[in-house]
Structure 1
Amino acid sequence: SSSTFDDPVHVEAVSADILTLAVGDLDGDGDDDLIAGMDVAGTSTDSVITIYKNTNQYSTVNFDNPVTIVLDSSSVDGDILDIASYDIDGDGNDDIVAAAQDDNIIILKSPGGSTDTWVDSNWESATSNWQIVADVDEDPLAIDVGNLAGSSDKDIAVGTDTQPGSDEMRAYEHPGTSPFSSSWTAISDLTRGSSVPVTDVTIGDFDDDGDNDVAYVVTDTDNVGFSRNNGDNTFTHMSNKEMTDENF
């Protein structure tokens, strides 16, 4: 059978470049909204996230009232290089995970509700509504979320740029309770140095054993790295897979 797609609908002209995009139901109305990580003036400029409400209409009136979230309270700076969304605290509203150019991974709690979500000052309105999960020492180029520790909560995997002595692959375990105030613990088996940037990372059950594993792109070597989840909160690094023309 064949499939067709409708003509694209222009959402909005923006004054700054969008570097990364995710979807999540930020206001709990059952429709996924758009979440954009923005390019800003430099590493000393407050990071910016723009959110667009899904009004469940396939027309130009959908997503046409953006809200700009300036990360000034948390003092997170620079471009947002990657972004993700899921319900971090289990309150029924999807929250935001963002990777900022100043080396920080930040989580933001959604205010929730059809009105409160779409007021910019409600984001970062109190220190209990955001937390810097980690400073990863270099630009965090990629993030993904998924259950790595065997709990019902999703954890965060991070790939970073490289510098001497740095670890370009990292992951952080969801604390289980009070995720916006409790510490996220680094998963030691997933802390790896590759000496080259890790530009993408993804979580999935690659060996069909019921436990999520991690794959990541090792730049400049044409390799994809794998870490197998052993199912007991430990991981085993597998041999990298070289991706050549013959492999595709």
Structure 2
Amino acid sequence: MVEEISHTDFTELLRIIQQRYGYDFTDYSAASLKRRFSRFTGFAGVHSTFELKHRLLNEEPFFREMVRYITVNVTEMFRDPSFYKVLREQVLPRLASYPIIKIWHAGCSTGEEVYSMAILMEEAGLLDRCRIYATDINEGNLEQAESGVIALKDMKEYTANYMQSGGISDFSNYYTAHYDKAIIRPFLRRNIIFFQHNLVTDQVFNEFQLICCRNVFIYFNRALQSRVVKLFYESLTSLGYLALGIKESLLYNDERAKFETVNLANKIFRRKM
């Protein structure tokens, strides 16, 4: 494991990644990204930054493995139950007025929060007219998310989250157990579209009533956060909702004036007219 990556080596790594593969990490939080690079070198058995740069330049599978490693975000079903409770009580009744409800999960990771949303929509009687677009930069995340397979050992914790969020059913109705795996039932997966999207470089692709981008901003610097919020603003319908992570904020964002606060504690905002 490389103990510490110098500023010069870090800049060179970002240049290699951008020029060789078209991935732009220059506006990610430098401190966080350096730590992830260092951890990846230990994971991959790389002993120097020279070796890391050499392999990135010459081995595309190695680069793909690195992207999968450094862009994996911690996630869980019904994470922050109070957030989902507010969605149930304050947001979904408004969304019910639309004939077709379009939701974007940006940075969906391995899909746990996407399936949580599908359960919410099912219990509100809205899933049949809902389209959930789940995107991530990480191809490995998307493959796992689309499979609908979750570790069975996590379901006890997820059941507790679900109940705290105001769940009205038996949580086990939403998955089947198979050995050490929980498999999300097909009826929850039918209206979810998974595909790769890069928040740094890609553009608006639809118009949404709700965008969830939770616990992704913490990896971006302030300039990139503002660019991404501008993308979200342009992707929302008038009075559409934007949800961020509990520890994230629009407070110092250049686009802040374009949104009103729905629930500050749970970081739910609404696009102004």
TM-score normalised according to structure 1 size: 0.31
- The structure whose residues are more often strand, as a share, is 1
Q: With CA pairs under 8 Å and 6+ residues apart, which has the higher RCO, 1 or 2? A: 2
Rg (Cα) greater in structure: 2
